[in-house]
Amino acid sequence: MARNDQHAMKVYGDIKLYAGTGSPELAQKIADYVKAPLCGRDIIQFPNENLFVKLHSSARGQDVYVIQTTSSPVHRNLMELLILLQTLKLDSAGRITAVIPYLAYARSDKKDQPRVPITARLVADMIEVAGADRYILIDPHAGQVQGFFSIPGDVLTGFYLISDYLRSRRSEMKDPVVVTVDLGFAKKGRNVAANIEAPIAFIEKRRVANDAKAQALTVIGEVENRDVILVDDEIDTGGSIVQAVNLVKERGARNVYVVCVHPVFSANAVDRLAALPVKQFITTDTVPIPAEKQILLKDRLTVISVSALIGEVILRAHQGRSVGEMFNE
């Protein structure tokens, strides 16, 4: 009788963590925080590039978290995530949460010209259809991405961690000002500025084509003789940040700090960043940065781990506790 009562109170089974191959170091750090091992699974790519997944043990009835970032190689990582989710669903896992530190295609979030897709919506649909009951995301490009899912989820931000770090360095800075790389980032930029008690300025940026080229136009606000903290959600090709750094330097900025949550660093972005007059690049590990790219930025690169943030949210989700109270909300 006592055994049945105990069982009845437990809605889901134990925490089971699985990881794709997208960000093994981050997955291990999350596992260390949660104090649960990464469960064994095989992920095999056949000669025809089709993927095959096999779990080493049963996940039946368990509270499962699949950790997979969807940065490069984007389509392989995305398919691994989807196949892992389906495998767990078919294995009768109790509840499945897709933990996606970086969500690919999040920038395709609206039909802003004729005859184009909203691929972020498609990706959300695929994650649900594959078997996710919940999701955890970090700073998806736009808030509306949450609305593309009809399952519940936790949308987290890396900017509290980054703001804490900036606060710890604030005494070294002279008259710091937070500058957003585009107007679309104004609201999040304002939060960072408020957190470190600095004023805010904005760059007006206009994309002129679909080919990843951007054009920075002007700075709205004061940067002259100030230390500038340039903030953006992600650095992809580096085009936006190169223009932003050059612009604030032309306008008389002193030291420049570059901040982003997702270091996508595609193509030759890191070479371009390395050539910039930037004192420090501050980012997180939502996207792994290969060693050969880290070396180019040397000690100017600071990577803050989001593992404790994600790990704590996993524990709270498992225990049915508030996530908002972590941020005094």
Which of 29, 188, 205, 293 is labelled catalytic?
205
AA letter at 265 = F
182 token code pair: 């585009």
Pick the closer one to ligand R5P by CB: 16 or 262.
262
- d(CA 206, CA 281) in angstroms, rounded, equals 23
- 3-class SS at 211? coil
311 token code pair: 């790990």
Q: Which residue has the tokens 């930029």?
A: 189
Pick the closer one to ligand R5P by CB: 61 or 184.
184
Residues touching ligand R5P: how many (CB under 6 A)? 16
- d(CA 233, CA 240) in angstroms, rounded, equals 11
Peptide bond into 73 cis (omega under 30): yes
Pick the closer one to ligand R5P by CB: 154 or 232.
232
22 alpha carbon, distance to own chain's centre: 12
Pick the closer one to ligand R5P by CB: 238 or 288.
238
What phi and psi values does residue 177 have, to the nearest 5 degrees?
A: -135, 135
- 3-class SS at 260? strand
Q: Look at strands 15-19 and 41-45 and give their pairing.
A: unpaired
Q: How far is the CB of 243 from ligand R5P (least distance, A)?
A: 8
Candidate segments 17-25, 238-246, 289-297, 302-310, binder of ligand R5P by CB under 6 A: 238-246
263 binds ligand R5P (CB under 6 A): no
- Active-site annotation holds for 205: yes
Binders of ligand R5P among 197-236, rule CB under 6 A?
212, 214, 232-236
Q: How far is the CB of 43 from ligand R5P (least distance, A)?
A: 28
139 binds ligand R5P (CB under 6 A): no
109 binds ligand R5P (CB under 6 A): no
176 binds ligand R5P (CB under 6 A): no
Q: Where along the sequence are the contacts to ligand R5P (CB under 6 A)?
A: 181-182, 184-185, 212, 214, 232-241
Q: Would you name the residues annotated as active-site residues?
A: 205
